[in-house]
């Protein structure tokens, strides 16, 4: 199995009022958010991002961390599972000219409204059945995506990530270490269907045969 490592350490953190969010989120909000359509990306803040737009301050400081960790260069290839509008991949292409990129997302809306130059490299597809041959990419990245699946489907997604990577992978998932963090996570959650403790995630990775790196989203 891979390493627990925070490859998002340079991704800007926003101050979160978890208690306020938990008090205002409803099951209807979660139902709407899990459609991953316009309401999730560019609708009301209660059901998603409230406007999902490109800003270089997010991924440009983060891509070099991935580049160093995975030793990426112009001859490398990267797949983003849950790529949304392709913002991360755009910055990969800007900072590592020539790198081969690919992205998949279940959201037709996100792909249709992706960064224009990224559209040729993006596909509407399901993480449970990635439309690529075995070992198609050097590195597969999936940020806060696979936890949006029920556990049996999440396992399929992990196996697919494992199948299409050649040299490594990195995922982040919703998790908690303490009962207090679990309460915060449950309050914060909008789209995740599988939330487990850090120990439970690590146990699952071993059971499934996931060999990539990983880290946690804990609000």
C-alpha closest to that of 20 among 46, 48, 57, 54: 46
Q: Is 153 within the bounds of a domain?
A: yes
Would you tell me how many other CB atoms lie within 10 Å of the CB of residue 68?
10
Q: What is the pLDDT of residue 19?
A: 58
Q: Is 15 within the bounds of a domain?
A: no
The sign of the CA dihedral 72, 154, 149, 21 is: negative
Q: Is 8 within the bounds of a domain?
A: no
Predicted model pTM: 0.95
Q: Judge whether 149 and 82 are in contact, CB under 8 Å.
A: no
Count of domains observed in the chain:
1
Q: Is 13 within the bounds of a domain?
A: no
Q: What is the pLDDT of residue 14?
A: 74
Q: Is 104 within the bounds of a domain?
A: yes
Strand partners, 80: 103, 141
Q: What is the pLDDT of residue 187?
A: 87
Q: What is the pLDDT of residue 219?
A: 87
Q: Is 51 within the bounds of a domain?
A: yes
Q: Is 150 within the bounds of a domain?
A: yes
Q: What is the pLDDT of residue 154?
A: 98
Q: Is 4 within the bounds of a domain?
A: no
Q: What is the pLDDT of residue 21?
A: 57
User: pLDDT tens per residue, the chain (219 residues)?
Assistant: 899 999 999 999 876 665 565 557 799 999 999 999 999 999 999 999 999 999 999 999 999 999 999 999 999 999 999 999 999 999 999 999 999 999 999 999 999 999 999 999 999 999 999 999 999 999 999 999 999 999 999 999 999 999 999 999 999 999 999 999 999 999 889 999 999 999 999 999 999 999 999 999 998
What is the CATH classification number for the domain harbouring 80? 3.40.50.150
What domain range includes position 116? Answer: 36-172+182-217
| Phi, psi torsion values for 186, nearest 5 degrees | -65, -35
């Amino acid at each position: 199995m891979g390493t627990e490592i925070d490859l998002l350490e340079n991704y800007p953190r926003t101050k979160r009022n978890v208690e306020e969010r938990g008090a205002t989120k409803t099951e209807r909000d979660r139902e709407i958010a899990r459609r991953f359509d316009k309401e999730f990306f560019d609708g009301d803040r209660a059901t998603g991002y409230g406007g999902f737009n490109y800003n270089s301050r997010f991924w440009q400081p983060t891509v070099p961390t991935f580049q160093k960790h995975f030793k990426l260069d112009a001859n490398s290839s990267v797949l983003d599972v849950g790529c949304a509008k392709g913002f991360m991949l755009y910055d990969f292409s800007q900072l590592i000219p020539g790198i081969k990129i690919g992205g998949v997302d279940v959201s037709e809306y996100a792909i249709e409204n992706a960064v224009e130059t990224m559209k040729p490299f993006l596909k509407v597809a399901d993480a449970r059945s990635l439309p690529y041959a075995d070992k198609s990419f050097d590195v597969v990245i999936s940020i806060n995506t696979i936890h949006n699946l029920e556990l049996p489907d999440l396992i399929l997604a992990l196996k697919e990530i494992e199948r299409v990577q050649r040299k490594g992978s990195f995922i982040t998932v919703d998790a908690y270490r303490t009962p207090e963090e679990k309460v915060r996570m449950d309050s914060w959650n909008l789209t995740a269907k599988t939330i487990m403790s850090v120990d439970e995630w690590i146990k699952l990775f071993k059971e499934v045969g996931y060999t990539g790196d990983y880290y946690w989203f804990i609000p």
